[in-house]
Amino acid sequence: MPSDRFARRRALITGGGHGIGRACAHRLADEGARVVLADVDLEAAEKVVAELVEKDVEATAVGCDVTDTASVDAAVAQAVERLGGLDVLVHTVGGGLGHPDFLRTSDDDWHQQLELNLMGVVRSLRAALPHLVQTRGNAVMIGSVNGMVSVGSEPYSAAKAGLQNMTHNLAAEYGPHGVRINLVAPGTIRTRVWDHQPDRMERLAQSYPLGRIGEPEDIAAAVAYLASDDASWVTGISLPVEGGALAAGPYAWRG
């Protein structure tokens, strides 16, 4: 792994206290980035900061609720102040929320899913883009294969599909400003949401041609590529990182 690919780069990672966000923080920091971790779970983000500081990384944590515009604006402002600017935004916050079948899914259910998985990204990008324009920086969002194929969970999947389309549109709009905007679309990843479902995890693993579910570090590696100069001519893409499940067919995740 290159040790200096993000030397002198300043990165804000939303959801940095857990799972994919934590893995992204470690990956970018290991490659030289200075990082601010924004998370509604500030205690968890501070624990990750402590891990990074042990590796002599410059890292700080800020509280951030992506469903609240003022909170997001404040988190981005704090990150810019602490880092002296912003070169990379990595937005990892999201997740499926339980809901009944389509006909019984309420407007409130839809609203909650869209707020967390689509509008949260809108708020982060809206606050960060003026700073990324100044540095000709880039943003990488975490989507989902749910936004690409029919695998159920309509509110969550619709939000992720909207995120994919927004990535394409903003990449075209901000490309002339030197800003790249990309998305990583994971399959099933071993995060805390699966902690109490080991049997289902084992079944899902068999649905993937590579024979396992993904790890947060698999996604962090893809994020690091897209956020780095190695991808300097890559923008507006939705990169599936899903162990071959798209090749296997859209029903791979229904286990």
Q: Which domain holds residue 179?
A: 10-240
> Is 90 exceeded by the pLDDT of residue 190?
no
| Orientation of helix 19-30 relative to helix 42-53, angle to 10° | 30
Residue at 213 is within a domain: yes
251 within domain boundaries: no
Q: Given a cut of 70, is residue 250 above it in pLDDT?
A: no
Identify the pLDDT of residue 255: 46
Average pLDDT, the chain: 91
Confidence at residue 205, expressed as pLDDT on a 0 to 100 scale = 79
Work out the average pLDDT over 77-99. Answer: 91
Task: Look at residue 78 in the predicted model and tell me its pLDDT.
Answer: 98
Question: What is the spatial distance between Cα 95 and Cα 114, in angstroms, rounded to a whole number?
Answer: 10
Q: In the structure encoding, which two tokens stand for residue 121, read together?
A: 């990204």
Look at residue 147 and give its three-state secondary structure: helix
Instruction: Considering the candidates 156, 174, 225, 251, report the single residue annotated as catalytic.
Output: 156
**CA gap 225, 26 in Å, rounded:** 14
Q: In the chain, which ranges are continuous DSSP H helix?
A: 19-30, 42-53, 69-83, 107-114, 120-135, 154-174, 198-205, 216-227, 245-248
Give the mean model confidence (pLDDT) for residues 141-148. 90
Q: Is residue 90 part of a domain?
A: yes
- Within-domain flag for 46: yes
pLDDT (tens digit, 9 = 90+) per residue, 4-29? 999 999 999 999 999 999 999 999 99
Report yes or no on 2 lying in a domain: no
Residue of higher predicted confidence among 150 and 143: 143
247 found inside a domain: no
In a domain, 155, yes or no: yes
Residue 77 lies in a domain: yes
- The predicted model gives 171-181 an average pLDDT of 98
Predicted pLDDT of residue 97: 63
Looking at the DSSP assignment, which residues form a beta bridge with residue 142?
184
In the annotation, is 156 catalytic? yes
Tokens 């001519």 belong to residue = 233
Which is it for the CA torsion 28, 29, 30, 31, positive or negative? positive
Q: Which of 171, 73, 89, 169 is nearest to 135 (CA)?
A: 89
The CATH number of whichever domain residue 68 belongs to comes to: 3.40.50.720
> From the CB of residue 145, how many other CB atoms can be counted at a distance below 10 Å?
23
- The number of domains in the chain is 1
* Rounded-to-integer distance, Cα 142 and Cα 36, Å: 17
Cα separations in angstroms, 37 against 78, 103, 110, 200? 11, 38, 28, 31
